[in-house]
């Protein structure tokens, strides 16, 4: 799954650690999500979208390979 978390963090000037604290996960989890190595829950996706005042669809985008999972 593609995501724009890194871009959105840059716009708000917040670190992975700060985002992690806001959504109650580890910095490593945020890093893994940004790298597309972690399939997050709907709740976590909603929390992240809320931090950036965006919709989930604006932050996350399914790739064709996601349909095979």
What are the structural domains of the chain?
2-63 (1.10.260.40)
Rounded to 10 degrees, what is the CA torsion of 62, 9, 58, 69? 10
Average pLDDT, the chain: 95
pTM attached to this predicted model: 0.91
**pLDDT confidence of residue 31:** 98
Average pLDDT (38-62) is: 96
What's residue 13's pLDDT? 98
Q: Where are the alpha helices (DSSP H) in 13-55?
A: 16-23, 27-34, 42-51
Spatial neighbors of 9 by CB under 8 A, at least 6 apart, are 15, 16, 19
Q: pLDDT class for 64, splitting at 50, 70, 90?
A: confident
What confidence score (pLDDT) does residue 65 get?
81
- In this prediction, residue 15 carries a pLDDT of 98
């Amino acid at each position: 799954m593609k995501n724009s978390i890194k871009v959105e963090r840059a716009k708000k000037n917040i670190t992975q650690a700060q985002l992690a604290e806001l959504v109650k996960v580890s910095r490593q989890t945020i890093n893994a999500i940004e790298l597309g190595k972690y399939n997050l829950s709907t709740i976590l996706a909603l929390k992240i979208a809320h931090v950036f005042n965006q919709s989930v669809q604006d932050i996350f985008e399914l790739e064709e390979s996601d349909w095979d999972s």
